[in-house]
Every structure is written in structure tokens, then in C-alpha cells.
A = this chain, B = another copy of it.
Amino acid sequence: MQPVYLGLIGCGTVGTGVARLLIEQQQIIERRTGMPLVLKYVADLDRERDRGLTFPPGVFVDDALQIINDPQVDIVIEMIGGLTVAKELIRAAIAKGKHVVTANKALLATSGNELFRTAAAANVDLAYEASVGGCMPVIKSLREALVGNRIQAMVGILNGTCNYILSKITHEGLDFSSALAEAQAKGYAEADPTLDIEGLDAAHKLAILTGLAYGMQINFEDIYIEGISAITPLDIQYADNFGYRIKLLAISKNRGDAIEARVHPAMIPMDNILSNVSGSLNAITISGHAVQDLFLSGHGAGMMPTASAVISDVVDLARNLRYGAAGRVPLMSFQPDQIRNIPVMPVSEIVTHYYFRFAVQDRPGVLAAIAGILGDNGISIKSVQQKGRQTNAYVPIVMLTHKAKEAHVQNALQSIAALGVVGPAPVLIRIEDENQED
């Protein structure tokens, strides 16, 4: 059978994994697909890096354009990351009629609408399974397995760095900066960890999934994003007392004419399977009207798990090539002309349960004043506990609320701060508890 020619642009960690799978698993891939997949080129600026692989002469090139300009190359695998060069190369590859595989979530979250339109117009495939959740087939599940479902919600742990750090704080009582340092030492966090710990990486992924799930434009800039750097062992301990764990969740809910899409630390019940996803694993619960809850979990990052997802895409595209079936599954799950502009709800409009921790002056009437403000804002308290001892003239009070609207909660917190009896930095953590009706 006709070989399929591949060009890999970017041979860093994941790119090396992709090359390794293509070389070392060539036989089993051909036994499955019936097609020889030939890695014709690998382009990277760093020729000297030890990748543990020997490429035949002529395969390793310095210039990515050599790949894009070779008419024999069928599929371009973009593994360089970043926004500018990667985008130019993908656009150039599409313009040459080549199918593209990428794992570039930041690029798709910010320029996906444009790139998918361009690819569809050129009748080429643009595949991106590895952009979300590493080895978990979450994109394939949304585009194919759940095709008969109206998607109702997705709740995911989509950033392994944050999950590793929160697991460390939870299970070993480390504070945030020690847990971060350990994550960095183990290679789970970058030297500049901002993209991960501030929730941006999870939000990139959520933006992609949200577009796919509901047949809408990708709307990264409308996602509410809050990271984990303010999470303390104290709040994790209090959460534990209430039967909750704290996870950085990426949450998307179908509210009919609008969508909730938000990334923030949240408390989830111990009996929610997501609460048991520890360390650097990723996981997601996808709720569809027919399946109810489908749960996936696996390594969301790392050389080989991510490379496995890239190979899955490469093989899908190779199979399409064989039958002239590009676009067989539309890139964004819905036909291009069926993608709608559905607004993302402002976070002020969401309704959920809340956990508050205040440091309050230990004197009569303070609790009554706080409770009064919450009541005036329509926020109903489910439980109040005074926890721990007085420090710096303040005593800590934690509260769980019934369902409340975020706008009312923010109003109330402002009024409570204005009372002058509450210490600095009140803590608000949202609760995702499907066991609680109201």
C-alpha cells in the first residue's frame, strides 16, 4: 500500500516521543493500519540534543519550510508550541494542502476559530487530540463517541502541575511554595510556572472542549480564570472536615442559551471520582443526556502519553488520506456552518455553593452582622464553624452556603469587608457538589 509521508516540526520532549513511537512501533502500527507511515523529516533548530534516536541521513533538517514545501509530505506534525511561528507554519502547511496534527492548546484556544475555518476551507484535516488531557481520548470522545448526545456539562482536572501541587498540600501538608518547589524539582512544573498555576493552561484546554462540546465558537477570552496560588493547607484541612477535597477544576455547563466556562479551585465531595485523581494525572467527567456521566483519566502530559495521542491523530489522518476522506469528522465536531455564537455567562451570573473563611474580631455581634449581610443578599448559610484559636486578635470562622448567585456573594463580601471587624483576605472557594440540591 502507498506509504504516508510525515514531517515532524519540533523535536523537543513530545516531538521526540512522537518520533520514537513512529520508529519503534512502526511494525505494530502497520499491522493495525495496513499502511507504512514514513517519518520523512524531523525539523528542529537543536541538532545536537541527545534524543536517543538515530535518524536515517537526510531526515533531520534545520528548516521547517523544507518540510512544508516538499510535495510528497502528506501530514505535518507541529510540535514547536508557542503562538507566532507555530501559527505561521500551520497556515503555510494548510495552504500547501497538507493535513496537520498539533498539540498546541494555547494556539488553538486563541486562534482556533480562524485556523479551523482555514483548514475546512482548504479541505484539510487539523487534528489536536494531544492538546487536551494528554493520552485521554477526550477530543475523540466528544467528536465521535458522544455524537448522539446533547452535552450537558464537563468537569475536568486538566492541569497535572496544579493537581500535583494540590495533592502534595493535601496529603503531606506542604504549603503552596514548598509544593511548587517540589513540583519544579520533579519536572512537573516549569521554572516559570505562571501558565500552569494561574489556571491559564487549564483554561486553554477548557476553551477548546467548550467549543467542541456545544458546537460554538472558541471563546477563551470569556472564560473566568483563577489559579491555585492562594490555596492554603488550612483551607484544605477545613475542606476535609466537610468531606471535600480541593481541586483546580475546569468547568463547563450547558445553560441553554449561554454556557458556563470557568477555571478555579473548587471543593468537591470525596465520593466524586475526581476527588481521587491524585498527582499529575488528568481526568474529566463528560455529562451527556444519553450516557449520563462518562469519566476518563490518564496522564495529561509527559513525553510518551502525549505522543500516543499525537500518533492517534496521525493515524486518523492517514486513514482519511487513503479514502480521500479529509473532514470525515468535522474539525470542531459540528459542521463548519453549524457552529454558533453562544455566549459565555459572566461569572457573576453563576449559581453554586460557596465556602468562606473569615478572620473576625472575637466580640459580640460580629457573627450576627456577617449573617445579616449574607441574608440581605439572599445568601443562606448552611453551616458555620469557628475553627482554631484566636491569632492576632482574630478568630477564624468558616461558612458553607446553600446555592447562591456569585454577584450576590461578591456584593456581600464587599459589605462584610466594610464592617471593619473582619481581617484581611477573606477566602472564597466555590463548591461543586452534585449531591446538594439547594
Return A195 CB to nearest CB of chain B, in Å. 24
The answer to whether A34 touches B330, judged by C-beta atoms less than 8 angstroms apart, is yes
A409 within 8 A of B: no
B304 and A335 contacting across the interface, CB-CB below 8 Å = no
* Contact B294–A147 (Cβ < 8 Å): no
With a CB–CB cut-off of 8 A, which chain B residues contact A31? 215, 334-335, 338
User: How far, in whole Å, are A251 and B308 apart by their CA atoms in the complex?
Assistant: 23
Which residue of chain B has the shortest Cβ distance to A328 in the bound complex? Answer: B319
The answer to whether B296 and A291 touch across the interface, beta carbons within 8 angstroms, is: no
Q: How many identical chains are in the complex?
A: 2
Contacts of A45 in B (CB 8 A): none
| CB-contact partner of A309 in B25, B29, B145, B308, under 8 A | B145
A375 CB–B CB distance under 8 Å: no
Question: Which residues of chain B are within 8 angstroms of A25 by Cβ–Cβ distance?
Answer: 148-150, 290
Interface size class of A (residues with CB under 8 A): 35 or more
In the bound assembly, the distance between CA atoms of A365 and B295 in angstroms comes to 52
Contact residues in B for A146 (Cβ distance below 8 Å):
308, 312
Most buried by B among A28, A141, A145: A145
In the complex the two chains form, what is the Cα distance from A328 to B144 in whole Å?
15
Contact flag A290-B312 (CB < 8 Å), given A25-B150, A32-B330, A325-B325: no
Return chain B residues, CB-CB under 8 Å to A141: 137
Q: Which residues of B contact A290 (CB under 8 A)?
A: 17, 21, 25, 135, 304-305, 307-308, 311
Contact of A335 among B32, B137, B149, B291 (CB under 8 A): B32
Partner of A312, one of B147, B150, B283: B147
Tell me if A199 is interfacial: C-beta within 8 Å of chain B.
Answer: no
Answer yes or no: A96 CB below 8 A from chain B CBs: no
The reply to whether A140 and B145 form a contact with Cβ atoms under 8 Å apart is yes
Q: Please name all residues of chain B whose beta carbon is closer than 8 Å to the beta carbon of A294 when the two chains form the complex.
A: 135-137, 296-298
Interface code A4-26, partner B: CB below 8 Å = 1, 0 otherwise? 00000000000001000100010
A17 CA to B292 CA, complexed, in Å: 14
Give complex CA distance A311, B305 in Å.
Answer: 29
**8 nearest A-B residue pairs (beta carbon):** A148-B311, A137-B145, A323-B325, A135-B291, A290-B308, A31-B338, A290-B304, A295-B297
A–B complex contacts, Cβ < 8 Å, 20 sampled: A17-B290, A21-B148, A32-B215, A129-B145, A135-B145, A135-B291, A137-B145, A137-B294, A144-B315, A144-B316, A145-B308, A145-B309, A147-B312, A147-B315, A292-B298, A292-B299, A292-B305, A320-B328, A322-B328, A325-B328
